[in-house]
Structure 1
Amino acid sequence: MSNSFQSISGQSLGSVDSLNNLKAQASRDPKASIRETARQFESLFMQEVMKSMRASTLSSGMLENNATQLGTEMLDTQFAGKMSGLPGGLSDAIQRQLQRQMGIQDLTPEKVQKASQTTLAQALPALATKGIPNHVQSFIQQHDAAARSASAATGIPASFMVAQAAHESGWGKREITAADGSKSYNVFGIKATPGWTGKTVDVVTTEVINGQAHKVTAKFRAYGSYDEAFKDYARLITSNERYAKVVAQAQSGSATGFARGLQQAGYATDPAYAEKLAKTIQTTQRVQSTLA
């Protein structure tokens, strides 16, 4: 079960007061209890979606504090409530599924809650990945294990690393290859510095110098596998003082801080690098939320 679903299922419907309310409602109107359960889950899901979107949005940081964050969270909760229970929405789909699964024989609140959780868990993957191309989902799934291994060693969220690999390689479509067409497995675009003793490949790439794009030939590192590439990236990002603030931002869970930090540290010359990477992180997190 995905982490995002666990965070949803542990909220309102899991409270004693809410369960007691559903019990009372079920005794009076079983069908109404199904509608209310479905509406609550849709509202919680919408809150998670809005929270994820805000976490991946670039913000200036100006005038932001605990009070403004609390106000934003309260506003998001109100918006989620307003958007829930509308005709044709997610709650309608949950309600129909519950009625099909349960019929009219067992409409106790406990049964309603359990069936609701199962229904929502089945619905989340399709909702979270709606509109995301198959090759994007495949790239994230392919590198998920290597990223999680590197995350355990660095504290950098796996989603941040997969997203950076995706951005650098164009979701695998612009992966660096040697002159003979063989793979370098270098999905992070890491150049071969003078201290690098491994294999290299020469690649014509675009660098932005003084605001102008220039084609240059550069040496890039080559690996034996994607797992090696993620491990080398982890070593590079954590051992170089230049990226110390980047790692700290990543370990705090700030996608915006991570993306900005990489750009400021000179990881890439594209002036829009941080904005692009932040959007890619958001897409990656949506897909990873559906992975077991």
Structure 2
Amino acid sequence: MANVQSLSGGNLSIEQLRAAASRDPKGSIKEASKQFESLFMQEVMKSMRAATLSSGMLENSGTQLGTEMLDTQFASKMAGLPGGLSSSIEKQLARQLGIKDLTPERIAEGSRTTLAQALPHLANKGIPQHVQGFIQQHDAAARAASKATGIPASFMVAQAAHESGWGKREITAPDGSKSHNLFGIKATSAWKGKTVEVQTTEVIDGRAQKVTAKFRAYGSYEEAFQDYARLVSNNDRYAHVVAQARTGNASGFARGLQDAGYATDPAYADKIARAISTTQRVQRTLA
């Protein structure tokens, strides 16, 4: 017999839902909205934990199971609170279904359609427009570089986002022209292309200091992603970083970059991991 999972952890049969819908149509929509909010919150928490750096101490399948159970319980308790996502879902369900046709089958059908329309907006709720715009702008270039290297597009976009302040701190020449260098890649003596010399902040002996450095300049953002992909893929220094990335290990990728000395910021790995989590949330709506 078909059923759905209730927030209390029990199963509600189609007959029970039909009876509930006939007694209280609006209540049925509210309950469905709570369940979808709970499921959505669980996915968000799962994504956040996937990008969180783990210590490796006292961690095993048992602790992971316990964490997942706590996340499920927390999401269930939070669902339906004032100002939450369920109120938005509830309104869209009501508009989609109308108040006269609230059989469980119609609720399920309408819910699928409504969620397909609503979740892209809800998934990005709370993410600033300039952040969403940056991810959308560079998604194609990152995916092209990903095909050549195996590094997830979300990892590269996230690192570019952090290095450039989501595009707000892009390296520019004295005349204001763009370098398209989103990754903060410096120009060594081996670099034969264009360069831009600017002042930047480096952590030296534990202290943040302003220094003048020369950076690579590109003709487009696509060139920047391609050059970054070549840099990390062809340098033994980043072999472990690429290996972690190809397995989808966000925390391993972030930690590897810091350990390999990509940046001097001691909190670099944590910042990259958070940027990856945000990027993946938005990219799921672009697929």
Q: TM-score, normalised by structure 2?
A: 0.87
User: Corresponding residue for 2:151?
Assistant: 156
Code of the residue aligned with 1:182 in structure 2: it is S
Residues 170-189 of structure 1 deviation map (CA, whole Å, 9 limit, x = unaligned): 11122112233221111101
User: Corresponding residue for 1:4?
Assistant: none
State the identity as a percent: 74
Residue 104 of structure 1 and its aligned partner are, at CA, apart by 4.1
Matches within 5 A, 1:203-214: 203-214=198-209
Structure 1: 5+ residue stretches without partners:
1-14
Q: Are the aligned partners of 2:18 and 2:104 in contact in 1 as well (CA < 8 Å)?
A: no
Following the alignment from structure 1 to structure 2, what is the Cα–Cα distance between the partners of residues 113 and 135? 35
Following the alignment from structure 1 to structure 2, what is the Cα–Cα distance between the partners of residues 257 and 120? 33
Residues 9-46 of structure 1 deviation map (CA, whole Å, 9 limit, x = unaligned): xxxxxx94439955313432322543443232122111
Code of the residue aligned with 1:282 in structure 2: it is S
Q: Secondary structure at the match of 1:171?
A: coil
Cα separation, partners in 2 of 1:92 and 1:269, compared to 1, 3 Å: closer
The alignment's C-alpha RMSD in Å is 2.3
Residue 284 of structure 1 and its aligned partner are, at CA, apart by 1.9
Following the alignment from structure 2 to structure 1, what is the Cα–Cα distance between the partners of residues 138 and 54? 28
Following the alignment from structure 1 to structure 2, what is the Cα–Cα distance between the partners of residues 185 and 248? 27
Code of the residue aligned with 2:16 in structure 1: it is Q
Q: Are the aligned partners of 1:25 and 1:33 in contact in 2 as well (CA < 8 Å)?
A: no
Cα separation, partners in 2 of 1:16 and 1:25, compared to 1, 3 Å: closer
Q: Secondary structure at the match of 1:47?
A: helix
User: Corresponding residue for 1:27?
Assistant: 18
Structure 2: 5+ residue stretches without partners:
6-10
Residues 23-82 of structure 1 deviation map (CA, whole Å, 9 limit, x = unaligned): 313432322543443232122111111112212223322111222111111221122222
User: Corresponding residue for 2:8?
Assistant: none
Deviates further, 119-128 or 190-199: 119-128
Cα separation, partners in 2 of 1:158 and 1:211, compared to 1, 3 Å: same
Following the alignment from structure 1 to structure 2, what is the Cα–Cα distance between the partners of residues 271 and 27? 57
Instruction: Please point out which of 38, 45, 64 is paired with 1:69.
Output: 64
Matches within 5 A, 1:36-185: 36-86=31-81, 89-185=84-180
